Structure formats: C-alpha cells, structure tokens
Structure 1
Amino acid sequence: MPHRIVPHLSPARLSLYRSECGSASDHRAGALYVWQVELHAAWYEVLGLVEMLLRQSVDNALADWNHRALLPGGGTRDWLTTAARPLDSLAAKMSRDAQVAAQKAADKRPRNHPRFNAPVIHDDLVAQLTFGNLAHLLPTKAAPTNRSTRATGRSARENLWLHGLINTFPNRAQVWPVGARGDTAGRKVCLGYHVGNTIGRLRDLRNRVSHHEQTLAANHAARHEDALLLARAIDPRAAAAISELSTVPRVLARRPRF
C-alpha cells in the first residue's frame, strides 16, 4: 500500500503532499505521492520521444544551414565540430560536452557492439544533445525593444533562428498560422521566441521529473499540449503516434481527490 512509503519521505517533502491533501493522513499522502510517480513515468515516454524528434530535426536544419554558410566553419554538415558564425560561439560548450560524453559512451561499448572500437562520429555527438542544449540555441524570454546596438538589428540567436533553425519545423504554418499580414521577418522572429520558450518549459519539466521533484502545481495539461504542438510542427504523423502512445492525459484524470 502507498502509505508504507510515507515514513521514508523527508518531513519537508511530506508536508507538501499533506498540505495538498488537506490532511495528515499517511494513506492520502502516500496515494498522492505514488500517483505523481506514475505521472512522471508517463512523462518520460512523451518527453523522450519529443526530445528525439526535436534533436534530429534540429540536426538536419543546422547541417543544411552550416553547409550553405559562407563564413569560416561553413561548407560542412558537421555543425557541432566546424560551425560557422554565429553558431560557433553558441554551440562551443555543448560541442565540447557532447564530445566528452560521446567518447565515454564509445569507450563503454562491449565487444559485441556493432561499433566496438569505432571512432566517434557526428551522429554520436548529436545523440548527446538534450532539451537544455537545444533551448540554448533559440531566442527565449522576450524580443528586445532596442536593436540599435546590433549590426543586423538582430541577436545571434535570432539570426540563427531566421536563417537555419526555423526549418526544424517544416509544418509550422499549420501549427502556428501566420495570419493575414503574411509570414514577415518580424513574425518569424516572434515565432522563434515562442518556440524557444516552449522548449524551455519542457526542459524545466523534464529536469523536475528526472529528479523526482514535486510537480503537483505544474500545468501538466498545458505542457502536454506544448509537447504535441512541437512534434506536430516537425511531423504531424509522428505527433499523432506520440499522442496515441501518451498516457499523460489518462494519468492526470486519475489524480486522487480528497
């Protein structure tokens, strides 16, 4: 029974569940805690699939952009190792981290692994990228009101979005309609902030879920919609599959009520 878990929760953590239940009952607190564990497990599936979809689509978009770029570092699809400006500065740390992590993963391959002793390649680096890495490449929070200090009038992240990362979402016009005034550069920049903030919200939820933090006050329904909209803007068929597989809505509906 869930109440048997309660003695192992710290007083500070337990107080959050008791407060939510409006009772000192171990049975109620335990039921709520176990329900949250089930919800987090459901989120692991959704976030893992969306992260994979996003990571691969970002890789394709940036590989195309970097291959076309005329600045130093351009002309290659390996954007994590030879990136053109402004990507070179934005991706420098994530590239180093990805190379270290990919090499560690390669060193751990058993002898029966198909790529035992094979060198680290671009795909190995991409596999190490996380929601946090992807969010770092995008504009977030709000667009600046004063652009006079920038030569192009836009930040590095805004330019990268406009000329490269926007292609991560080939179905964006269906998910985020451009309106009667057309798909202007200004509208595209605003969309970049919307997408960046959406990915940031999912990153924050993923971090809390992975650390088993209390998420009772999180707007899980809205975050689930965020995840599906991102997936739909990349590939509607993949998004439909994720929606069908997701148990987040069903678990949410079973939240204990006291």
Structure 2
Amino acid sequence: MPHRIVPHLSPARLALYRAECKDPSDYRAGALYTWQLELHAAWYEVLGLVEMLLRHSLDNALAGWNTSSSLPGGGTPDWLLSSARPLNSLSRSMSSDVRTAAKKAAARRAPTHPRFGAAPTHDDFVAQLTFGNLTHLLLTKTAPTNRSARATGFSGRENLWLHAAINAFPNRHDVWPAGARKDTPGRQVCLGYHIGNTVERLRVLRNRVGHHEQTLAANHAARHEDAILLARAIDPYAAAAITQLSSVPRVLARRPRF
C-alpha cells in the first residue's frame, strides 16, 4: 500500500507531496508519490526511444558531413576520432570521454559476447554519447544579436547546424513549416535554436526523472508533445510507433485529485 512508503521519505521531500495534496494524510501523499513513480516509468520508455533516434540521426548527419569535408580532420565518417572545424572544438572533450567509456565497456564484455576481445569501434563510441552530449552539439538558449565579429555571420555551432546537424531532422519542415516565409539561412538558424531548445527541455526532464526528483509542477503534456514532434522531425513512422507505445498521456489522466 502506498502509505507504507511515506515513513521512508525525508520530511523535506514529503512536504512537497503533502503541500500538493493540501492534506497531511499519509494515504494521499503516498498515492501521489506512487503515481509519480508510474509517470516516471512511462517517461523512461518515451525518452529512451527519442534519445536513441536523436543519437542515431545526429551520428549519420555528422558522419556524412565530416566525410565530405576537405578541412583538416575531415574525410572520414568517424567524427568522434577525427573531426573537421567547427565540430573538432565542440566534440573534443566528449570524444575523449566516450572513448574512455567505450574501452571500459569493451573490457567488461563476457567471454560469450560475440565481440569479446575486440577493440571498440565508432558504433561503440556513439553508444556512449549522453543526452547532454547530443544537446551540446545543437543550438540552445537564444541566438546572438551581434554577428559583426564573425566572418560568416554565424557562430561555429550555428555553422555546424546549417551544414551538418540540420540534416538529422529531414522532416523538420513538415513539423515546423515555414509558411509564407522563404527558407533562408536566417530562418534555418532560428529553427535550429527551436529544435535545440526542444532537446534541452527533454534533457532536463530526463535528468529529473532519472534522479527521481519531484516533477509534479512540470508541464508533462507539453514535454510529451516536444518528444513526439522531435521524433516526427527525424522519422514520422518512428514517431507514430512511440505515440502508440507511450503511456504518458494515460498516466497523466489518472493523476490523483484531492
């Protein structure tokens, strides 16, 4: 029974649920707490699938761009090992981290593993990219207002978006149509910030869910829409599958009301 969990919650944590219930009852606080557990479990499925889609699509987009780049570090799809400007400065730290993590993961393979004893490959490195790493490669916050100091008018991360990362979202125009406006580079940059901030909102939620923080005040319906729209921008068929699988809307509808 949910109320039996309540004595094991710290007073500070429990106070949040009691305040939400507007009642000191252990039964109500316990019911709300366990409902949030169910909601977080539902989010794990959705966010895990969206993160996988994003990782795979960004990898393909960056690998294709890096292969065709004639700049130093280009000419190879292994962009985490050798990358051209401006990706090299953005990926340097994460490249070191994922290589270390991939080597440790390879060392832990059981003798029955089909790749036991094999050296890590690019796929192993990509598998170690975190949601935070993926967000770091995209545009977040707001666009700069003064571009006069930049030779191209765009920052390195903006140029990476315009020439590479944008291709990770092939159906972006179906999700976020341009309307009557022409699809100018300026508009593409604005769309890049919109997509990057969408990813950032999902990253923040994923971290809160992962640490089992209290998320009662989060706009779960809006974040669920973010997740589905982002998936649609990558692959509408995958987005349809995630929509069908997701139990987030159903769990939200069952939120205890006091």
**Range class of TM-score, shorter chain:** over 0.9
- Deviation at 1:178? 1.3
CA distance in 1, matches of 2:62, 2:162: 12
The one-letter amino acid of 1:190's match is: C
| CA–CA distance in structure 1, aligned partners of residues 243 and 186 of structure 2 | 32
Within 5 A, what are the aligned runs for 1:94-109? 94-109=94-109
SS in structure 1 opposite 2:110? coil
RMSD over aligned CA atoms reads 0.5
Please state if 1:30 is matched with 2:30: yes
Provide the residue aligned with 2:253 in structure 1: 253
Q: Measure, in 2, the Cα distance between the counterparts of 1:130 and 1:224.
A: 20
Other-structure match for 1:229: 229
Deviation at 1:152, TM superposition (A): 1.1
Q: Distance in 1 between matches of 2:181 and 2:256?
A: 47
Superposition map of 1:96-245 within 5 A: 96-245=96-245
Return the offset for 1:242: 0.4
Report the TM-score, using the length of structure 2 for normalisation: 0.99
Question: What amino acid sits opposite 1:21 in the alignment?
Answer: C
Kindly state the Cα deviation for residue 95 of structure 1 after the two structures are TM-superposed: 0.7
Partner of 1:55: 55
In structure 2, C-alpha distance between the alignment counterparts of 1:97 and 1:178, rounded to whole Å: 38
The alpha carbon displacement at 1:60 in A equals 0.3
For 1:4, the aligned partner's letter is R
Whole-angstrom distance in 2 between the partners of 1:73 and 1:87: 10
Distance 1:68 1:184 in 2: 23
For residues 31-74 of structure 1, give each alpha carbon's deviation from its aligned partner in whole angstroms, at most 9, with x where no partner exists. 00000000000000000000001100000000000011111001
Structure 2 spans left out of the alignment, 5+ residues: none
Give the C-alpha shift of residue 139 in structure 1. 1.3
In structure 1, stretches of 5+ residues that fail to align are none
In the alignment, structure 1 residue 76 sits paired with structure 2 residue 76: yes
Residue 67 (structure 2) pairs with residue 67 (structure 1): yes
For 2:105 and 2:43, the matched residues in 1 are separated by 25
Q: Give me the identity figure in percent.
A: 76
Matched letter for residue 156 of structure 2: A
Alignment length, in residue pairs?
258
In 1, the alpha carbon distance for the partners of 2:116 and 2:28 equals 50
Displacement over 4 Å in runs of 4+: none
Task: Write the distance in 2 (CA, Å) between the matches of 1:138 and 1:200.
Answer: 9
C-alpha distance in 2 between matches for 1:225 and 1:139:
20
**Which position in structure 2 is the counterpart of 1:17?**
17
